[in-house]
Copies of this chain bind each other. A is one copy, B any other.
Amino acid sequence: MLTERQLFLLQVLVDDYILSAEPIGSRSISKREDIHFSPATIRNELADLEEMGFLEKTHLSSGRIPSEKGYRFYVDHLLSPILLSDDEMRNIRKAYTERYYEAEKLIETTAQILSDFTNCTAIVLGPELLDTKLKHIQMIRLSENRAVLIIVTDTGHVENRVVALPDEVNGSEIERMVNILNERLIGVPLYQLKVRLQQEIHAVLNEHIHHYERMMIEIEHALSVNGPDQIYYGGKNNILSQPEFRDINKVIPLLNVLEKKDLIHGLLRSPKSGIQIKIGKENKLVAIEDCSVITTTYSVDSEHVGTVAVIGPKRMAYPRVVTLLDIISKSLTNNLNSNY
């Protein structure tokens, strides 16, 4: 449907606009040395592209900017992956050379790198906990009536909660109870814990332990709150230096959304793997309808367990960000799999 030349012009215009953040006029396009036709011709073409909905004007006699449909087309059909300079590749690798003792640190660093290199906000959703399996349960008494319940998963993740001990329960009973829990629950995926507890364990405990009910309430509570997964940010404020956010009133709702963990989850958590791009209003949230979000997944043991995302203005350096996101999510996957 689009002619070669229209494709070319659309690409040039989007590329230019991404760099300059200003409406692009026919004259400035015509000055490029790879363009061999006049501003007037370009005007005609741009007018057609606008009619088709790929471009917009900010006012009657302004230059053009890409519409959301324009970005979408650009991203779907004109995105030429970019090669990073050797220098940059070295820098990325260097950032990963440190050996990380904890997965958390590694993920934090990943978010940091990604935001630094894209100049956008990077978000990494921590590994989905629910799929991991129980490795060990332990209860350590702190005082007469408090203990900390510790749950270790097979990935080495540790969850803990302080629980109240009812007066009626004595030490040996607690020990027995923990033993029972370990016998029965090791290897069970976390998301099944609560059900299994209710279905099997109650009966068993009933046989062996007196007064276990109040105790169980505490434990159930502790086990069920294996909270929403961790969210790691990098360059939270990078987006503030983009010219489209010079107005503080555009910034406030955006930053507020970033603070709302549930919204971020809803926004980023995706069933599909591979790179996905949402442009402007394609994101369901009003607060980020002027932003684009690019996500991909990373994995441990070839299961997709988490999401890596970049949030920036619609006028985002798509080719560069896509390339970086790809490289960095793969680095993260590699590092996670080789070290943990």
The interface of chain A, by Cβ under 8 A from chain B, is: 101-103, 135-136, 138, 140, 142, 146, 148, 150, 152, 154-156, 158, 160-163, 221-222, 225, 236-237, 240-241, 245-248, 251-252, 255-256, 259, 340
Q: Are A259 and B241 in contact (CB under 8 A)?
A: no
Q: Are A140 and B136 in contact (CB under 8 A)?
A: yes
A163: chain B residues at CB < 8 Å are 101
Choose from B101, B161, B225, B236 the contact partner of A255 (Cβ within 8 Å): B236
A247: chain B residues at CB < 8 Å are 248
- Copies per complex of this chain: 2
Q: A253 — nearest CB in chain B belongs to which residue?
A: B237
Complex: how many Å from CA A325 to CA B134? 42
Complex: how many Å from CA A247 to CA B240? 11
Query: Nearest Cβ in chain B — how far from A247, in angstroms?
Result: 8
Choose from B146, B162, B222, B248 the contact partner of A240 (Cβ within 8 Å): B248
Q: A247 — nearest CB in chain B belongs to which residue?
A: B248
A221: chain B residues at CB < 8 Å are 101
A248: chain B residues at CB < 8 Å are 240, 245-248, 251
Complex: how many Å from CA A146 to CA B340? 8
